[in-house]
Amino acid sequence: EQASLLKAHFDEHQRETELARRILDHQIRSDLMQQAGVSYSVIPATNFSGDVVLAARAPSGRLYAILADATGHGLSAAVSVLPMVQEFYRLVELSSPLNTVIESINFLLANSLPLGRFVAASFVSLDEAGRSGEIWVGGVPDVLMFDGAGRLERRFAPSNLPLGIMRSNDGVRGIESFAWESRAQLLLTSDGFAEASDTDGVQFGEDRLIETIGRKAPEATLIEALQQALEAHLKGGHAHDD
């Protein structure tokens, strides 16, 4: 009887987990991600990821992208980022300025998340034809900009609080403008990547990340090179964070 009861509880938990995963997956528009042309990878530490990547193009063709990292990991972290998903798509469709996107999402999270929950994030808005962009970094590792040969060209350090901490806009106004002349790539990561530790407790680290990109094979994409380097570093293990 106990075995049957445990199995019934387990089966119900599995059904609820699968339903939650389908709801979360349905929120993120993979078609808009493909149209945006953004390469990405999300590796959850458990069944659900508190990291989310969103990207879409405004009617004008301008590209908007977010890397968000909610407090903790698992289902509770995944639920924390849900309120911002549809708001992001709505604001991009309106071709809203980047500061409006950030302020609106911050207000939404500050009023919907419980105390102690927040979302670190990087926001990027690009005018690819004009070779100019805007970036906002709050609570996540530096955003790195590489040239066509994989050399580190510029870094954008986090100068803002994570989203959802303050209801006012005072902590979300640090938008930085930038431009590029020749082919370049932006890399946004959450702290789970650099902090991924091998069996000896050695973290992957930013230095190894930059070195990996500098020596990646020409035919490999930036994401593929980093995935291979991370797998080799973990030696079959799993990262403790998304």
Element (H, E) at 124: strand 119-127
DSSP code of residue 72: S
In this structure, what token pair is assigned to residue 52? 């989310």
φ/ψ (deg, to 5) at 27: -70, -35
> 206-227, pLDDT tens digit by residue?
999 999 998 887 767 888 889 8
**According to the model, what pLDDT value does residue 30 have?**
81
Q: Which region among 22-36, 129-143, 155-169 has the lowest average model confidence (pLDDT)?
A: 22-36
pLDDT tens for 166-196 read 887 776 778 999 999 999 999 999 988 888 8
What integer pLDDT is reported at residue 171 of this predicted model? 63
- On the question of pLDDT at 164 being above 70, the answer is yes
The pLDDT of 194-207, averaged and rounded, is 89
Residue 17 clears pLDDT 90, i.e. is over it: no
